[in-house]
Amino acid sequence: MENEILLLKGNEAIAHAAIRCGCDGYFGYPITPQSEVLETLSVLKPWETTGMVVLQAESEVASINMLYGGGGSGKRVMTSSSSVGIALMQEGISYMAGAEVPGLIVNVQRGGPGLGTIQPSQSDYNQATRGGGNGDYNVIVLAPNSVQEMADFVDLAFELSFKYRNPAMILSDGVIGQMMEKVVLPPFKPRRTEEEIARECPWAANGHGLKGRRPNIITSLEMDPVEMEKKNLHLQAKYKEIREKEVRYETTSCDDADILIVAFGSASRISLKAMETARKQGLKVGLFRPITLWPFPEREIREMARHLKGILTVEINAGQMVFDVRAAVDGSVPVRHFGRLGGIVPDPDEIVQELYKL
Amino acid sequence: MSDKNHPEKQASGLTRADIIRPENLVYQKPELMNDVNMHYCPGCSHGVVHKLIAEVIEEMGMADKTIGISPVGCAVFAYRYLDIDWQEAAHGRAPALATACKRLWPDRLVFTYQGDGDLACIGTAETLHALNRGENITIIFINNAIYGMTGGQMAPTTLLGMKTSTCPYGRDPKLHGFPLKITELAAQLEGTAYVTRQSVHNVAAIRKAKKAIRHAFENSMQGKGSNLVEIVSTCSSGWKMSPIKANQWMEEHMLEFYHLGDLKDKD
Ligand SMILES: Cc1ncc(C[n+]2csc(CCOP(=O)(O)OP(=O)(O)O)c2C)c(N)n1
Ligand code: SF4
Ligand SMILES: [Mg+2]
C-alpha cells in the first residue's frame, strides 16, 4: 500500500496525508471551501486504525486552543479552516508562538474582508506572513500550488514545526483546496510512541509519566520585563535561523529571463500558463515561485533581479507579497503588481498584457 | 540529627527533626506544594483550593500523570505552586486545552482551574461545550463574583447590588443583567457526571470540598464524563474587606444566592 495513487481534491489530500504522516489529532470547525478536510477524516475514521483523534470543535477559537494544548503536550496536532476562521485563531497562534508550541494550521483562503466570499483568494498573505496576532512573532508558512503539494507539505510542516517548536501554516486557497488532481500519497509513517515523544519533546507538558524529569510548564507569560526581553530575543534568534536555513522556492525558465513573474500558490499555476504564452510571443519571461512565504526568499530574488528589466507579482489580492518583493530588490528594478479581487481568479491573457507594461 | 552545631538546633537542644517525628505528625504541607511564596492576598480562597488539589493528586498517586491547565486570572501562576506539568491557557480557553490533552493522553489526570470571569464570561462557550461533550476532565471553578486579577471589575457572577469598580453604584440588572449561575446550567448537560458547589471558608467546608475534588478526579479517570466543582470563594482585595469580613460577607450574601451542595451526581 506504499505510494498509493489517487485522484483527490486538495482538501481530501490534506486529510489522507495527515493520517499517513503520524498525525495524532485534528481539531476543526466547518467552513467553505475547506470542509472536506474534516469530512474526509470523519469518513476515514483514523481513530480505528492509527489512533488519531478527530474532533469537530465548537469554534475556531476552541480548535486553535485544542491545538495549543495538544501541541503543548508534544503531540502532532493540526487544524484547518478558511480566512474568516483563521482570523478567529490569531490569539491562539500568538500564544503558541510565545510558548513555543508546535502545531499545523491549514488555511484554504477565501475572499474577504469580513464574510466576503467563498471563492478563492490569496488575501491572507499579510496575516500569515506577519504573524497575524499580537506580539513580535512569525509562523512558518508553506504555499502549495498542487494537490500533490497539499499532501506533501503536511509532513514537511510538522517536521519544521517540531524542529523549531513553532507553529507552521499551509497557506492554500480555494482553487488548490477544491481542484482534483492525481496525487501520490506519502509513505505511511506511524504515530510516535510515548518514549519517542519524550525524546523528541523533553519540554512537553503531558504529565511526566516517564520518570526522571522535572515538571514542564508551557506558558507565554513572563512578568519581569528583563526576562521577557530575553525571551523575545530568543524567539528572534530562532526566526533568524529559520530565515537562513528554511527558505524554499522554485524557478522555471529563469536562466535567460529578463522579466520575472513572482507568484505563489494557485496564482503561480496561472502564471506558468501566462509565461508560456508570453515566451511564444518572444518575451523572455521566467517564473519564480516562493514555496515558503515566511521565510521569504528575498536573497534569491535580489540576486536574480541583477539581470532583470522588471518584475511582475501576480497575486489573487490587492497587492500584498509585492511589498516583500520590492523590499528584496530595494529599487534596483521596477516591480509591478497584478491581481484580481473578490474571488475572481486572474486570466493568463490578462497577465500577458501586464507583462508588456513593464 | 542531634549535632550541637546543627543550624536548626533549637534553644531546647532539640532539632526540628527531633520535634517533628513521623509518629507525632498530625498535619503537613503536601509534597506537591512548592516551597515558594504565593502571590495571593491574605484571606484569598485560591491558596486553600490549591492545597486541596495537591493533596488529592498526591493521595491518588497521580503526580506523575497529571496535566493542569491554568487560566488567565489570579490563578495564572498556579503552575508555580503545584509541582506537576502545567499548561497556561489563553483567557477562557482552558477547557479546550484540557479536551485535547485528555483525548490525546487518555490515561492522564487532566483538570482546569478557572475563575468566574475566565469560565463564565469569556470562556462560556469552551466551558459548556467541553462539559457537554462529556470530556473526562475536571473543571475547578473559583467563583469570587469579581475579576480579581484586573482589580475588581464586575463579573458575570457579581451579585445584584454588589459594588465593583465597573458597577460602583451596585450591580443593576437594567444596566448589567443578572448574575449567572453557570453551575446550574452545567448540571443540565448530558455530558456532566458530577456537578457540585462547595466552599472553603471553614474547616468543615474545606473537608467537603476536598472530597468533592477527589470524587471529580476519580470520575474523570474512570471515564464517567465531565466534572465541575465550583468553589464559592472570597476575594478580600476585590471586595475591599478584611479576610475575616470577607468570609462573613461570603456566608451572608454569596451562599444566599449560590447554594452549596451537589447539583448532580450520576453515581
Ligand atoms: C483576551 C483577554 N482579555 C482580557 C484580559 C484581562 N484579564 C486578565 S484576568 C481577567 C479577569 C479574571 O477574572 P476571574 O476569571 O474571575 O479570575 P480571578 O482573578 O477573580 O481569580 C481579565 C479580564 C486578558 N488577559 N485577556
Ligand atoms: S485579588 Fe482577590 S482573587 Fe486575586 S489574589 Fe487577591 S484576594 Fe485572591
Ligand atoms: Mg473571579
The model's pLDDT over B69-91, given as tens digits with 9 standing for 90+, comes to 999 999 999 999 999 999 999 99
Residue of A58, A69, A211 lying closest to B98 (CB–CB): A69
Q: Which three cell numbers stand for residue A152?
A: 506533501
Domains in chain A, start-ordered, CATH in brackets? 5-184 (3.40.50.970), 250-357 (3.40.50.920)
Alpha carbons A78 and A142: distance in angstroms, whole number: 14
Alpha carbons A341 and A333: distance in angstroms, whole number: 26
Q: What are phi and psi of B232, to 5 degrees?
A: -70, 125
Q: Could you read off the pLDDT of A250-278 as tens digits, one per residue?
A: 999 999 999 999 999 999 999 999 999 99
Q: What is the pLDDT of residue B2?
A: 41
Q: What is the pLDDT of residue B10?
A: 60
Q: Could you read off the pLDDT of B91-118 as tens digits, one per residue?
A: 999 999 999 999 999 999 999 999 999 9
Residue of A27, A65, A217 lying closest to B90 (CB–CB): A65
Q: Could you read off the pLDDT of A15-39 as tens digits, one per residue?
A: 999 999 999 999 999 999 999 999 9
Is residue A45's pLDDT more than 70? yes
Is residue B25's pLDDT more than 90? no
Least CA distance to B103: which residue of chain A?
Answer: A53
Alpha carbons A106 and B37: distance in angstroms, whole number: 43
Among candidates A238, A245, A239, which has minimal Cα distance to A297?
A245
Q: Do B65 and A219 touch (CB under 8 A)?
A: no
Q: What is the ipTM of this complex?
A: 0.96
Beta partners for residue A296, in sequence order = none
Q: How far is A183 from chain B (nearest CA, A)?
A: 30
Q: Could you read off the pLDDT of B169-193 as tens digits, one per residue?
A: 999 999 999 999 999 999 999 999 9
Burial pattern A197-236, b for ≥16 Cβ within 10 A else e, equals bbeebeebbbbbeeeeeebbbbbbbeeeeeeeeebeeebe
Q: What is the pLDDT of residue B132?
A: 98
Q: Do A67 and B65 touch (CB under 8 A)?
A: no
Residue nearest to atom 2 of ligand 2 (CA): B235
Ligand 3 ion local residues (Cβ < 5 A): B 115-116, 144, 148
Looking at all shown ligands, the one closest to residue B150's CA atom is 1
Over residues A123-143, the mean pLDDT reads 98
Residue nearest to atom 6 of ligand 1 (CA): B150
Looking at all shown ligands, the one closest to residue B75's CA atom is 1
Q: What is the pLDDT of residue B3?
A: 44
Least CA distance to B98: which residue of chain A?
Answer: A69
Burial (CB < 10 A; 0-12, 13-18, 19+), residue B13, is exposed
Q: What is the pLDDT of residue B1?
A: 36
A165 CB neighbour count, 10 Å cutoff: 17
Among candidates A291, A274, A285, which has minimal Cα distance to A308?
A285
Q: What share of chain A is helix, strand, coil (3-state, %, to 5)?
A: 40, 20, 40
Q: Do A99 and B66 touch (CB under 8 A)?
A: no
Average pLDDT of chain B to the nearest whole number? 94
Q: Do B126 and A217 touch (CB under 8 A)?
A: no
Q: Could you read off the pLDDT of A187-234 as tens digits, one per residue?
A: 999 999 999 999 999 999 999 866 668 899 999 999 999 999 999 999
The DSSP output letter for B136 is S
Is residue B252's pLDDT more than 50? yes
Under 8 Å between Cβ of A288 and A254: yes
Least CA distance to A63: which residue of chain B?
Answer: B96
A238 CB neighbour count, 10 Å cutoff: 16
Q: What is the pLDDT of residue B8?
A: 53
Q: What is the pLDDT of residue B27?
A: 84
Over residues A318-322, the mean pLDDT reads 98
Q: What is the pLDDT of residue B15?
A: 84
B35 CB neighbour count, 10 Å cutoff: 7
Under 8 Å between Cβ of A303 and A275: no
- Ligand 2 within 6 A of CB of B148: yes
Q: What is the pLDDT of residue A213?
A: 83
Domain ranges for chain B, please list them.
35-265
Alpha carbons A159 and A18: distance in angstroms, whole number: 12
Chain A positions touching chain B (beta carbons under 8 Å):
24-25, 27, 53, 55, 57-59, 61-63, 65-70, 72-73, 75, 77, 91-92, 95, 99, 205-209, 211, 215-221
Q: What is the pLDDT of residue B179?
A: 98
Residue nearest to atom 1 of ligand 2 (CA): B148
Under 8 Å between Cβ of A88 and A115: no
Alpha carbons A325 and A318: distance in angstroms, whole number: 14
Q: Could you read off the pLDDT of A79-93 as tens digits, one per residue?
A: 999 999 999 999 999
What share of chain A has pLDDT > 90, as a percent? 97
How many Cα atoms occupy the beta-carbon half-sphere of B116 within 13 Å?
28
Residue nearest to atom 6 of ligand 2 (CA): B41
Answer positive or negative: Cα dihedral of A40, A44, A50, A56: positive
Over residues B208-233, the mean pLDDT reads 98
Q: Which three cell numbers stand for residue A334?
A: 521596477
Is residue A55's pLDDT more than 80? yes
Least CA distance to A222: which residue of chain B?
Answer: B77
Q: How far is B37 from chain A (nearest CA, A)?
A: 16
Q: What is the pLDDT of residue B18?
A: 81
Q: How far is A67 from chain B (nearest CA, A)?
A: 7
Taking a contact as any Cβ pair under 8 Å apart, which residues of chain B between 114 and 133 contact chain A?
125-126, 129
* Global pTM value: 0.95
Q: Which residues of A touch B90 (CB under 8 A)?
A: 65, 68, 91-92, 95
Over residues B57-69, the mean pLDDT reads 96
Start-to-end Cα distance in chain B: 50
Q: What is the pLDDT of residue A36?
A: 97
Average pLDDT of chain A to the nearest whole number? 97
Kind of pairing, strands A285-290 and A249-252?
antiparallel
Q: What are phi and psi of A34, to 5 degrees?
A: -135, 10
**Fold of the B35-265 domain:** Rossmann fold (3.40.50)
Query: A125: helix, coil or strand?
Result: helix
Beta partners for residue A174, in sequence order = none
Distances, alpha carbon B77 to alpha carbons A20, A268, A342, A343, A351, in Å: 39, 48, 46, 46, 56
Answer positive or negative: Cα dihedral of A142, A298, A338, A125: positive
Q: What is the pLDDT of residue A210?
A: 63
Beta partners for residue B141, in sequence order = B114, B230
Under 8 Å between Cβ of A174 and A7: no
User: How far does Cα B150 stand from its chain's mean position?
Assistant: 18
Over residues B10-19, the mean pLDDT reads 77
